[in-house]
Amino acid sequence: MSENLSTSLHLFWFLPTHGDGRYLGTAKGGRPVDLAYLQQVAIAADNLGFYGVLIPTGKSCEDAWLVASALVPVTKKLRYLVAVRPGLQPPTLAARMAATLDRLSEGRLLINVVTGGDPVENKGDGIFLSHADRYKVTDEFLSIYSQLLKGQTVDYQGEHLHVEGAEILFPPIQQDGPPLFFGGSSEPAIDVAAKHIDTYLTWGEPPAAVAEKLAMVRERAQQAGRTVTYGIRLHVIVRETEAEAWAAAKKLIAHVDDETIAAAQQVFARMDSTGQSRMSALHRGSRENLEISPNLWAGVGLVRGGAGTALVGDPEQVAARIREYQAIGIDNFIFSGYPHLEEAHRFAELVMPLLPGAKHRDTAINMGPFGETIGGDRRPTAEKTTHSEVAP
């Protein structure tokens, strides 16, 4: 494994538009996710120095485009990773939406290309294509979409999509349009990534498995004469001590019963997503042996689809695991934690200062170090003990 870490490190947070709370798989400890709460999370991410936020897509979520539009005006630098849906949107409409939001956000839009891996949900959206055909549509969609964002007039006749004289009249701020992010583990998905995508995303598998997948994408991209960057989607549970972090992980699923796990696994089993199959194989619906790699915990995936793993540990351990992923070529990290508002602060305060290349909150603000004035008379001094020296 190379130790030549990239000096570019983009840290993202997550907007929980499908719900938030203190425990998974239960209404206990749940919290309402309204506009005011999403504003709190977005403003926190912006102020804490996160590069951007991912907004999920699908029937389980609020609409990502409307949420991003509502949050852009209350943030200053934060970027928004918002999904386009080949097969659900025409490429011309998606291009107009992207160009508009890129202008309204002054160049803070990123695009997540989501093909969709749940046939049942797809049918509810009027999509009755096979797995292979969905990626053919994605290929054709991006062929049209990318030309439009480059200012070209497009005539295209494909197997699934056909446009004549397509164009957008108002260009985006970012040259050639917002960067394209995309995740998919199947052969057709990797072909799409190699041909079209700027940043390839993977879910949080052990580093060796991620390295193998990235090598395939890298080889295909080189064959296509392209260079791709890489990102990973993970949850994070960081505390001042390792024991506290593992206790928090256990607490997160403390109210999940076996019936809830079984119901969730049935939903995941119906999907034709290779990535979801790989996630499910990490735990196989069992609470046993959930630490699948050092400080990598698969407990989230017992009831949550998609990203199902979390980095768990003290700040130094979490930072070390991030550096391991950096060493295999990943420089975009999309994190989340429960509840999302509090965990954004924990991660920024405990881990960001340990990551070279990561921007974190400027400790010069308010004359630093942080903390309440003591006795109304003096500022507290900086802690001299390391996290590992703090008693559990």
Question: What is the per-residue pLDDT across 257-294, written as a single tens digit (0 to 9) for each?
Answer: 888 888 888 888 887 778 777 877 777 777 888 999 99
221 CB-side CA count, 13 A: 20
On average, the pLDDT of the chain sits at 90
Write down the pLDDT at residue 337.
Answer: 97
What whole-number distance in Å separates Cα of residue 186 and Cα of residue 184? 6
Under the banding of pLDDT at 50, 70 and 90, the label for residue 358 is confident
Domains and CATH numbers, the chain: 10-365 (3.20.20.30)
Check pLDDT > 70 for residue 7: no
Under the banding of pLDDT at 50, 70 and 90, the label for residue 365 is low
Radius of gyration of the chain measured on its C-alpha atoms: 21
Collect all residues with Cβ–Cβ distance below 8 Å to 111 and sequence separation of at least 6: 81, 82, 83, 84, 98, 177, 178, 179, 180, 181
Under the banding of pLDDT at 50, 70 and 90, the label for residue 391 is very low
What whole-number distance in Å separates Cα of residue 332 and Cα of residue 52? 10
Q: What percent of the chain has pLDDT over 70?
A: 91
pLDDT tens per residue across span 313-322: 999 999 999 9
Predicted TM-score (pTM) of the model is: 0.90
Q: List phi, psi (to 5°) of 240.
A: -65, -25
Cβ-contact 208, 189 below 8 angstroms: no
Residue with the larger pLDDT of the pair 146 and 131: 146
Under the banding of pLDDT at 50, 70 and 90, the label for residue 376 is low
pLDDT tens per residue across span 55-97: 999 998 999 999 999 999 999 999 999 999 999 999 999 999 9
Which residue reads 């991003």 in tokens? 68
Write down the pLDDT at residue 390.
Answer: 42
Determine the number of helices (DSSP H) and then strands (DSSP E) in the chain: 12, 15
